[in-house]
Structure 1
Amino acid sequence: MTSSVFNNSISISVSDDDSDEIAGKTRVRVRRKHKKLGFRGKNELFRRILRLILRWWSVLLFLPAAGLLVFEASRIGRRPIPVINSSFVTQQKPEMVPDTKPAGNLNHQTPTTHMVGGVRERCLKLLPPEELQHLDVRMDEKSTNLIKEVVYISESDTPYVERNFTLSRQNTDATRFNLFTGNQTLEHREKSFKVNEITTVHCGFYSENGGFMVSDDDINYMKTCKAVVSTCAFGGGDDLYQPIGMSDASVEKVCYVAFWDEITLTAQETKGQRIGQDRFIGKWRIVIVKDLPFRDQRLNGKIPKMLAHRLFPHARYSIWVDSKSQIRRDPLGLLEALLWRTNSVLAISEHGARSNVYDEAKAVVKKNKATPEEVEVQLTQYHHDGLPEDKRFNGKKALAEASVIVREHTPLTNMFMCLWFNEVVRFTSRDQLSFPYVLWRLKVLKNINMFPVCTRKDIVNSMGHVRKAKPLIN
C-alpha cells in the first residue's frame, strides 16, 4: 500500500539474481512512464497557456496601443513652447493686456511656407524689417477713366416703402432691405451694375433712423484714419485677439478698430476685457454700435466688412480680418506686398476647398448655413442672369474665402463693395456665393489679387469661432 502510494517517487529494491532481467524491465517501464508523464505535462502546460490567452486576450491586445500612447505623450511633452512676441507685450499697459489663453495658434509668428519648384519658400514675402520701418501710407491719386465718383442714395433721393421679409421662389423682390439699406428694387439692382463716370448706388446708411449708431467721439476718431485694420464681433460670438508683428511705423500710422455691440461688450467684460478711459483695449479702438439693423448677426457683420469706405470716409486703405483670426503681420507691409507690388486695388483670400459658386451653394445647404429655399432663389437669379459655371476667372479661382480683405478705397472698389453688400442683403448672408457674381457682372474690375490659402495662413492666426453669436430679438 505504501509502495503504491509512493511508487512515483522512490526506487524499487530487487535481488541480485534477477537484477538484469528485472532491472531491464523496470527501466523500460520507468522510461515509458516518464515519457508518458512528460507528454501529459507538456499538454497541461499548453492548456494552461491557452486558457490564460483566452482569458486575457483583450488586455494583451491593449498593451501595444497603450505603449504607443505613452510614447506619443512623451514626445508631445518635449515639444518646444511657441515664443510670445515680447516686444508686443512690453508695449501694452499692464491693465490692458488681455488674458492669455492656451490656444495653440495665439501669438504664433512662424512663417508659413510651401514648395515652389522643389524649393521651400515663404508664402508671403514681406520686405525686410528695416525697410518696413520706412513705409508710409501712399496717398497719391490714381486716375481712372471708368468711374470718377460714386454717389450713395440718400433719404431725400428716393421714397422708401418698407417691406416685410418673406422669401419665396415666386417673390424674389421681397427682401431684407430696410431703413438702413434703402429699398433697392430689381430695377435699381440691374442699373447699379452699369459703369458710368458718376455712378449712383445703394450702399447702406440710408436713413439716420436706420440703425448702426456710434458715438460722435468714435465718428471723429474714424475720420482721422488714413489706413485701418478692422474687425467686429456682434452677439458675443468671438473674443478679441491683439494684433502682433507690427512695425513701429504701422503702430504710429495705422488705426486698429474693433466694432462691438452691447451683447459682446457684456460678454467680454465678464472675461476681464474692459475698455480703458481712452476707449482702447490694447491696440484696438473699441467702437460700440447700437441699434444694429438686422436680426441676422452675420448680416450685421457685413457692414464693417464691406462698407469700410463709409465708416472711414478719409481712409485710403483698409484691411479686414474676421473676428476668428489674429492678424500677425505688419499692415503697411501687407499693403506693399499685396497691393502696391502687384499693382492691385483689391486683395482677397481665395477659397481653399471649392472653386465654383454652384458647388459652394450645395455645401452651404449641406452644412445648414442657409436654407435650401434661400439658396435656390439666389442661384435661380444668377442662372437667369447668365452666370457661367466657370471654375476660374482670369486664370484664378472665382470663389473667395474672404476672411481677409485688403483694399484701396477707389471709386471702383467702393462701388464693388456696395454691390456686394446689396447682394448679401437681397439673398443670403453667405458672401462667398455673391462675390463671383458681382465680380462677373462688374467686368471692369480686373486688377484683383486673389491670394492663395497659404498666404492667408501667413497673414493671420486662425483661432476658430469661440461661441455662436446671439441673434437680435425684435
Structure 2
Amino acid sequence: MFNNNNSVAINVSDEDSDNLAEKLRLRARRKRKKSAPRGSAKLLSRFLRRWWPLFLFFPAAGLLVFEASSLGHKHNSELATQKKHDSVTEIKSPGNLNRLDPTTRVVAGVRERCLKLLPDEELQQLDIPIKKEFVDPIKKLIYLSESDTPDGIQSRKQMNTTRFNLFTGDQSFEQREHSFKIVNDMSRVHCGFYSKDGGFIISDDDKRFMQTCKVVVSTCTFGGGDDLYQPIGMSESSLQRVCYVAFWDEITLAAQEIAGHKVGEDHYIGKWRIVLVRNLPFSDQRLNGKIPKMLAHRLFPQSSYSIWVDSKSQFRRDPLGVLEALLWRSNSVLAISEHGARSSVYDEAKAVVKKNKATPEEVEIQLSQYRLDGLPEDKRFNGKKALSEASVIVREHTPSTNLFMCLWFNEVVRFTSRDQLSFPYVLWRMKVLKNINMFPVCTRKDLVNSMGHIRKAKPLVI
C-alpha cells in the first residue's frame, strides 16, 4: 500500500523482526572486523611517526644491558673460579693494619689455619726449651777480623771495583770456596764487622742493651723507605722476655720525626727499641739492610733465637708461639717462607731482570758461576721449593745457622742484593744444614700483615 508521502510501509511479523535484527548485528560485526585493521594501521603509523627515535635507542640500550650482564656474569664466574683455586684467605688493603684474624687454607676439603699456634693459656706458660735433640756438626765458628790479616784492606778506595770493603773484608774466591768445606772447627770466616773502621756504628748504650736479648724480633728501615708498624698479638709472657729492635739510619730518623714519630728518651717508640746506625757501609741501601737481616747473631751475640721481619710488614703473632710452631715442634733450626711463584733460581733470575731489580750483566755473572758449580735447574729441599721469599726468617742461633747466614751474606755482597738468587745455592753447597722448615706462603701471610713499601728509600752517597 502506498501512502501520501511516498514512503513504503512494510509489515513484518515478530519472528521476521528478530531474524532481521540478528542479520543486522552480524553484518555490523563483519563490518567492524573488516575496518579494524585499517584503523590499527593508522594508529600504528601515527605512533611510529611520533616515537621512532625510541626504537633506535632501545635496541642499543638492550645490547648494552646484555653486554653488561654478560660481563658481570663472566666476572662473577672468574671470581668463583679464582676463589676455588686460591684456598688462602688474605685481604690486601690499607685495612691490613692491626688485623689479627687468622689466615686459612683448604686441605682435603677442610678449611684450617695456616699457622697452628698453641692456645692462649698455653702460650702464657710457654718456656724456652733447655735441650735440643739436634746435634750441630759444627762445634766452633770463628769470624775473620782485621787483626787476623795484617796486610788486609787499607782503604775503601782500593775496593772501588767491587762491593767488598772494610766492613766485609776482601774475601778472595779461594776463601769463598774454602768456606763451603764444612768441618768441626770453622775458623777465619768472613761475616761482616771485619774492621772497626768498616761502618755500621752503634752506640755503646745500644750495644749493652742488645747483649741482654735472649730472644729478639728485629726489623730495619734505611733511607726512610718505610714507616714503623707496632707488633701485635703477643702474650704478656713474650712481652717480658722478647726484645723488639728496629734499626734506623739518620735519614729514617729525620723522616719519622717530621711525620711526628719521635723516639723517646728511653730509645723506644711503642714496643720497638730504636737503634740508630751511623756510617752505613754500602751505597746500596738494600745491601745495608742485609746486615741486620742476615747477621743477627753478630748484632745479638747472647741471643738464642731471632725472628726477622721486613719493614713492609707488621708482625702480628706471639714470638714464643711462633718459635714453638715453626722450630721446636718440628725440631728445626731455621724456618723461612717458600717463594710464592717460582722454584727455579734460573727462572727467578729472569724475573729479577725483567722487573729491573738488578742489571742483566750482574745477574749473568752470578748465574754463570752457579752453572759452573753445578747448581741444578730446579733444586728442591726435602721435596719442597728451595727458592725462598725471605721476608720472615725464624731461626735458632746455632753454629750451623750462623755459618749459613754468613755465607749467604757474602754471596749478596759478591754478586747481587737479590737474596732469593743466592739462598738455594748456599743451601745446596752447605749440605749439613738439613733441619730447615720451608713453610708455605699462607703461613707467612698469617705471621704478618703485609703493608707494602711506603716510599722509595733514598740512596746513600759514600
TM-score, length-normalised on structure 1? Answer: 0.81
Rounded Cα–Cα distance in structure 1 between residues aligned with 2:460 and 2:61: 55
Residue in structure 2 matched with residue 51 of structure 1 by the alignment? 53
Alignment partner of 2:354 out of 337, 341, 366:
366
* CA pair 438-43 structure 1, distance change in 2 beyond 3 A: farther
1:254 touches 1:331 (CA, 8 Å); kept in 2?
yes
Report the 3-state secondary structure (helix = DSSP H, G, I; strand = E; otherwise coil) of the residue aligned with 2:142: strand
Rounded Cα–Cα distance in structure 2 between residues aligned with 1:47 and 1:446: 86
Residue in structure 2 matched with residue 408 of structure 1 by the alignment? 396
Residue in structure 1 matched with residue 308 of structure 2 by the alignment? 320
Report the CA distance between 1:137 and its aligned residue.
Answer: 2.8
* CA pair 47-163 structure 1, distance change in 2 beyond 3 A: farther
Matches within 5 A, 1:426-437: 426-437=414-425
1:157 has 2:148 as partner: yes
1:244 touches 1:328 (CA, 8 Å); kept in 2?
yes
Residue in structure 2 matched with residue 81 of structure 1 by the alignment? none
Per-residue displacement from partner, 1:304-351 (whole Å, max 9, x unpaired)? 000000000000000001111111110000111111110000000110
Residue in structure 2 matched with residue 138 of structure 1 by the alignment? 129
Alignment partner of 2:443 out of 455, 468, 471:
455
The one-letter amino acid of 2:53's match is: R
Alignment partner of 2:95 out of 91, 104, 120:
104
Per-residue displacement from partner, 1:369-397 (whole Å, max 9, x unpaired)? 11111110000000011101124222111
Residue in structure 2 matched with residue 340 of structure 1 by the alignment? 328
Rounded Cα–Cα distance in structure 2 between residues aligned with 1:328 and 1:32: 85
Rounded Cα–Cα distance in structure 2 between residues aligned with 1:143 and 1:34: 101
Rounded Cα–Cα distance in structure 2 between residues aligned with 1:194 and 1:406: 25
Matches within 5 A, 1:239-258: 239-258=227-246
* CA pair 419-60 structure 1, distance change in 2 beyond 3 A: same
2:133 touches 2:331 (CA, 8 Å); kept in 1?
no
Rounded Cα–Cα distance in structure 2 between residues aligned with 1:354 and 1:43: 69
Residue in structure 2 matched with residue 39 of structure 1 by the alignment? 41
* CA pair 364-49 structure 1, distance change in 2 beyond 3 A: farther
* CA pair 253-295 structure 1, distance change in 2 beyond 3 A: same
1:417 has 2:408 as partner: no
2:136 touches 2:398 (CA, 8 Å); kept in 1?
no
1:229 touches 1:254 (CA, 8 Å); kept in 2?
yes
Q: Considering only aligned residues, what root-mean-square deviation do their CA atoms show, in Å?
A: 2.8
The answer for unaligned runs of 5 or more in structure 2 is 1-6, 9-28, 73-92
Rounded Cα–Cα distance in structure 2 between residues aligned with 1:288 and 1:40: 92
Report the CA distance between 1:269 and its aligned residue.
Answer: 1.4
The one-letter amino acid of 2:94's match is: A
Report the CA distance between 1:467 and its aligned residue.
Answer: 1.1
1:446 has 2:434 as partner: yes
Residue in structure 1 matched with residue 338 of structure 2 by the alignment? 350
Residue in structure 2 matched with residue 464 of structure 1 by the alignment? 452
Alignment partner of 1:295 out of 273, 283, 286:
283
Report the CA distance between 1:143 and its aligned residue.
Answer: 7.1
Report the CA distance between 1:59 and its aligned residue.
Answer: 6.5
Report the CA distance between 1:52 and its aligned residue.
Answer: 2.7
Rounded Cα–Cα distance in structure 2 between residues aligned with 1:293 and 1:164: 15
Rounded Cα–Cα distance in structure 2 between residues aligned with 1:435 and 1:459: 21
1:320 touches 1:406 (CA, 8 Å); kept in 2?
yes
Report the CA distance between 1:36 and its aligned residue.
Answer: 4.3
Residue in structure 1 matched with residue 252 of structure 2 by the alignment? 264
Report the 3-state secondary structure (helix = DSSP H, G, I; strand = E; otherwise coil) of the residue aligned with 1:420: helix
Of 283-292 and 35-44, more deviation after overlay is shown by: 35-44
Residue in structure 2 matched with residue 311 of structure 1 by the alignment? 299
Rounded Cα–Cα distance in structure 1 between residues aligned with 2:458 and 2:51: 63
TM-score, length-normalised on structure 2? Answer: 0.83
Per-residue displacement from partner, 1:271-321 (whole Å, max 9, x unpaired)? 221111111111000111111111111111100000000000000000001
1:139 touches 1:316 (CA, 8 Å); kept in 2?
no
Report the CA distance between 1:149 and its aligned residue.
Answer: 1.3
The one-letter amino acid of 1:54's match is: L
Of 333-342 and 53-62, more deviation after overlay is shown by: 53-62
Report the CA distance between 1:53 and its aligned residue.
Answer: 4.8
2:118 touches 2:321 (CA, 8 Å); kept in 1?
yes
Report the 3-state secondary structure (helix = DSSP H, G, I; strand = E; otherwise coil) of the residue aligned with 2:376: coil
Matches within 5 A, 1:223-242: 223-242=211-230
% identical equivalent positions: 69
1:136 touches 1:249 (CA, 8 Å); kept in 2?
no
Rounded Cα–Cα distance in structure 2 between residues aligned with 1:391 and 1:141: 29
2:379 touches 2:424 (CA, 8 Å); kept in 1?
no
Residue in structure 2 matched with residue 211 of structure 1 by the alignment? 199
Report the CA distance between 1:138 and its aligned residue.
Answer: 3.3
* CA pair 412-243 structure 1, distance change in 2 beyond 3 A: same
The answer for unaligned runs of 5 or more in structure 1 is 1-15, 18-26, 70-101, 167-173
